[in-house]
Amino acid sequence: MVFIKLSLFLFLLSGCGLTYYTKIAFHQMSILWKAEEIEDALQDPNLSQKEKEKLKLIQEVRKFGFEKLGLKSSDNYTSYSKLDDKYVSYVVNANPLFDLKPYKWWYPIVGDLSYKGFPQKQQAEELEQEMIKKSLDVNLRGVTAYSTLGWFNDPVLSSMMNYPEVSLVNLILHESTHATIYIKSNAEFNEQLATFVGNKGTEIFYQDARPELVAKIKAARDERKLFYTFIADEKKKLQKLYDDENFQKLPLAEKLEKKKEKILSLQSSYRTRIRKKIKVLNFDDILRSDLNNAHLALYGTYTANQELFEQVYLALGSDFKKLLNHLKSYEDSKDPLKKLKSSSKIEK
């Protein structure tokens, strides 16, 4: 069955840069070939007790997601695949030097995405250098998990095993959301929805059995809101600079200097206004010396519009199954965010 699906996958992608997609398909095939059933993995003497406990936890989270939240029932995360690397893939995203709107790649089936992934780091580094030569700001990062959107049964990956318990619960619910609802060419909306389900679902998962964790989860939620509100405001200031006609007329060297000043100002504001208020999480990556538009563009991609999802959730009586059924109707929409905004006013 896996071979048939991969053959169909490659057929659908034929003529679309097949070499790239062939590498992706065979990378996925190698992951699936190495996968063993969770029951067998639990008997593996090479896995630590802590890793086995996490595998058991994932099975609990799967059941909870299907039964309590209404996530699509599937065989995802019923097997375990040990990788040869600490990441399952490497992803590149890029932005113009003076714009926070992301560079996008088009893909069959899923449409436009603001990133491109590779099985090997070297392949990602080649694209990174290619984009730099095009005078783009670039970011390369390792990825520990992804969803195949229901095309295959996603295994638990060894790259997930380093996640703390609460983060692992969130991850499974997040990725399971992608397999439940996916809106073509709306990657940002899809990620924001999955973030809401992951965060809110994790709270519900622990609310009865581990109330002390819920308090910490809510504190982390408040810190995320504080940080990402700050980042959203700072990004608006930076984009305003880029859009200024006088700025656009400046020589390249002067534009780069003003951009650098604005980014340093952002980092200084984080140190003096935000950092001391963060107790549970850590956002110090914002202080990296090479911070650029491609890094900044990622901040908020996952976390925007969380209040809107919350409003729709409350309007539907805090019923997750109703929420997901409602959002499922967005799948043919070209502007799901507009629908979400209008849906936030629906009556219980």
Same domain assignment for residues 18 and 77 = no
Same domain assignment for residues 136 and 147 = yes
**% of the chain residues with pLDDT over 90:** 80
What's at 259, amino acid-wise? K
Coil vs helix vs strand at 96: strand
In a domain, 84, yes or no: yes
In a domain, 310, yes or no: no
Same domain assignment for residues 11 and 85 = no
**% of the chain residues with pLDDT over 70:** 94
In a domain, 29, yes or no: yes
pLDDT at 17: 53
Same domain assignment for residues 53 and 138 = yes
pLDDT at 315: 94
Total domains in the chain come to 3
pLDDT at 201: 97
Last residue of a domain, one of 169, 187, 205: 187
pLDDT at 97: 98
Tell me the pLDDT tens digit for each residue of 243-267: 999 999 999 999 999 999 999 999 9
**What is the mean predicted confidence (pLDDT) over 69-93?**
96
Rounded to whole angstroms, the Cα distance separating 344 from 314 reads: 9
- Is pLDDT larger for residue 17 or for residue 51? 51
- Is pLDDT larger for residue 97 or for residue 22? 97
Rounded to whole angstroms, the Cα distance separating 187 from 271 reads: 31
Rounded to whole angstroms, the Cα distance separating 58 from 287 reads: 34
State which residues form the domain around 219.
Answer: 213-298
Same domain assignment for residues 3 and 111 = no
**What is the mean predicted confidence (pLDDT) over 80-99?**
96
In a domain, 70, yes or no: yes
Tell me the pLDDT tens digit for each residue of 288-319: 999 999 999 999 888 889 999 999 999 999 99
In a domain, 228, yes or no: yes
pLDDT at 38: 97
Torsion of CA 1, 111, 78, 200, to 10 degrees: -160
Whether residue 10 is predicted with pLDDT greater than 70 in this model: the reply is no
Tell me the pLDDT tens digit for each residue of 176-220: 999 999 998 898 999 999 999 999 999 999 998 888 899 999 999
Same domain assignment for residues 18 and 130 = no
At 96, the pLDDT band (50, 70, 90 cuts) reads very high
Same domain assignment for residues 29 and 162 = no
Rounded to whole angstroms, the Cα distance separating 194 from 130 reads: 31
Same domain assignment for residues 172 and 236 = no
Same domain assignment for residues 2 and 45 = no
Residues 6+ apart with CB under 8 A from 248: 98, 242, 255
Same domain assignment for residues 254 and 125 = no
Residue found by looking up tokens 């405001």 in the block: 233
pLDDT at 150: 82
Same domain assignment for residues 30 and 42 = no
CA angle 288, 255, 249 (to 5 degrees): 155
